[in-house]
Amino acid sequence: MSGMERKELRIVGFLCNWCSYGGADTAGVSRFKQPTDLRIIRVPCSGRVDPLLVVKAFMEGADGVLVSGCHPRDCHYAEGNFYARRRLEVLKRFLPFMGIEPGRFEYTWVSASEGARWQKVVTEFTNQIHRLGPIRRKGDGGGDIR
Amino acid sequence: MEILDKLKEDIRGELEGVSLVIGWERGYDSLHTTPLFIRCPEDIDRLIWNPLCVHNLASYLPWFKGRRVGILVKGCDSRTVIQLLQERLIQREEVVIFGIPCQGVVDLAKIRARVDCSQVRGVSFKGDKIAIETPQGQRELPLEEILATKCISCQYPTPLIYDHLAGEAISSHRPPGLLFAEVEKIEKLDPKERFAYWQQELQRCIRCYACRNACPLCVCQDFCAADARDPHWLSQKTGIGEKFMWQILHAIHLAGRCTDCGECERACPMDIPIQRIRKKINKEIKELFGYEAGVNLEVTPPLYTFQVEEPAIKEREW
Ligand code: SF4
Ligand code: SF4
């Protein structure tokens, strides 16, 4: 689905330089059709993704945040994604407690050769965020978080 | 021997070999206590021990790194000492630990809610009651009703680490099921209600950072991420977003480290139930990694390590 058919939402993707960014590139080079809501921020490693970067993105109005790194055992820095997995899992279980709906944050692994997998991840994640809608609408009882 | 007498005797025996011993003394009135720094034998006479000794004195330990100091700990406080040792923020040879088996300390906010405490003339303890003398007369309250929330679900009344123990070890008679009771209440709400709940509570936050300053495991002092301009995690804006961000920042920096001592919430001048946020993370950490902070010296805190296969983490399939 393209931005023409529905209003784009603000989705932030933190992709590691060595695998997932390459995977997204592979998808692009292969001309796989993908939704355009996701803005990619390239980071050296999923282990670089401080959970607070995710929180900050939500606080600044992101509707969804995705972190993607190398598959476990394939980290360019050997163990960055092992640490990331623990931190991000804790974060994923914690965010809903503060009122950020489950599903707005996900983390996953995509290798540089998995263009098709990247297409699937980004499409499914984007659809999931569209089902949830914008994170806060004007007139929501709670008001704007900012 | 009374607990207090035993403490004094043990401190007397160790005082020569340490720079100071940290305990509690009477504060500005008989309802309030304040930390006591014992440097000479005469100071020992000012030491007190009763359910008003709320402070987690282990907060001071990282400050005294490099010097040998004595410290009085309740069961809960001892977990802070262990966690600090686990993280190598203090050295075992540099602390002499005076453990106290504890039956619970009070929550002053709960007392204030029932008694006008502006002019307290005297406080005494009679069995399981506290008697407070004010110009309006004497009020007796059952201790059980004014205990700190952490004490109602306390699993470790006897310190888990000590060099001296003042009295007989006691075991917990509190149901472990209560540990996460408040967290479970919030979990039952739907996300929108949860957001509204936190918005209502956190809007009172004045970002004084008393919660941070009181937390014994917030050890960065002048290098706190909350004060940094680069990265600028928090701005000078006063909106609710910054308050959320601050609370999440603190809670995440305590993930796998928070020992549930409750100092953050106790210090909050706005009476915001912020410990629940930390407790939620503790609950998930326990479920994922079977880890409780500050109970076992030998274990590496879970976010400082990993397993190649994580049995408890069910990753999403796409
Ligand atoms: S102590 Fe209370 S008011 Fe102060 S920053 Fe912490 S939560 Fe906010
Ligand atoms: S976050 Fe609160 S309960 Fe946890 S260690 Fe710090 S002061 Fe204690």
B245 lines ligand 1 (CB under 6 A): no
- Residue A124 contacts B, CB cutoff 8 Å: yes
- Nearest-by-CA chain A residue for B196: A142
Percent of chain B with pLDDT over 90: 93
pLDDT of residue B27: 97
Is the CA virtual torsion B143, B140, B56, B246 positive or negative?
positive
**Model ipTM value:** 0.93
pLDDT of residue B221: 79
pLDDT of residue A139: 46
CA distance A4 to chain B (A): 25
Alpha-carbon gap, residue B28 to A64, rounded angstroms = 51
On the question of pLDDT at B222 being above 90, the answer is no
CA distance B231 to chain A (A): 10
> Which of A85, A100, A106 comes nearest B310 by C-beta?
A85
B186 lines ligand 1 (CB under 6 A): no
pLDDT of residue A136: 76
Residues of chain A with pLDDT under 50: 3, 139-144, 146
Take atom 7 of ligand 1 and give the residue whose Cα is closest. Answer: B205
Class of the domain covering A11-132: alpha beta
Closest CA to B234 of A55, A66, A41, A47: A55
On the question of pLDDT at B60 being above 50, the answer is yes
On the question of pLDDT at B237 being above 50, the answer is yes
B-chain residues within 8 Å CB-CB of A72?
308
Higher pLDDT, B237 or A95: A95
pLDDT of residue A143: 45
pLDDT of residue A4: 57
Q: What's the rounded mean pLDDT across residues B64-93?
A: 97
CA distance B132 to chain A (A): 39
Q: What's the rounded mean pLDDT across residues B80-107?
A: 97
On the question of pLDDT at B119 being above 60, the answer is yes
Alpha-carbon gap, residue A24 to B14, rounded angstroms = 64
B292 lines ligand 2 (CB under 6 A): no
Ligand 1 pocket test, pick from B200, B274, B278 with the greatest ligand atom count within 8 Å of Cβ, gives B274
Single pTM value for the model: 0.93
> Which of A86, A94, A108 comes nearest B281 by C-beta?
A94
Q: What's the rounded mean pLDDT across residues B251-266?
A: 97
Alpha-carbon gap, residue A111 to A68, rounded angstroms = 9
| Residue of A88, A90, A119, A144 to mutate when probing chain B, most B C-beta within 10 A | A90
Please answer whether residues A9 and A134 qualify as being in contact, where contact means their C-beta atoms are separated by less than 8 angstroms.
Answer: yes
The kind and range of the H/E element at B250 are: helix B240-253
What is the arrangement of strands in the sheet containing B137-142, beginning at the earlier edge strand?
A: B122-126, B129-134, B137-142
DSSP β-bridge partners for residue B69: B20, B95
A-chain residues within 8 Å CB-CB of B239?
145-146
B148 lines ligand 2 (CB under 6 A): no
On the question of pLDDT at B181 being above 70, the answer is yes
Is the CA virtual torsion B113, B115, B118, B120 positive or negative?
negative
Total Cβ atoms within 10 A of residue A101: 18
Q: What's the one-letter identity of residue B283?
A: K
B-chain residues within 8 Å CB-CB of A55?
245, 248-249, 252
pLDDT of residue A141: 45
> Which of A59, A87, A140 comes nearest B241 by C-beta?
A59
DSSP letter string over B168-232? Answer: ------S-GGGGGHHHHHHHTS-HHHHHHHHHHHHTT-----HHHHH-TT---GGG-GGG-SSS-
Q: Do B277 and A108 touch (CB under 8 A)?
A: no
- Ligand lying closest to the C-alpha of residue B243: 1
Q: What's the rounded mean pLDDT across residues B6-13?
A: 98
Q: Which two tokens stand for residue B215?
A: 């937390």
Alpha-carbon gap, residue A83 to B225, rounded angstroms = 20
CA distance B224 to chain A (A): 14
Q: Model confidence over B185-217: pLDDT tens digits?
A: 999 999 999 999 999 999 999 999 999 999 999
Q: Taking the domains of chain A in order of start, what are their residue ranges?
A: 11-132
**Strand, helix or coil at B74?**
coil
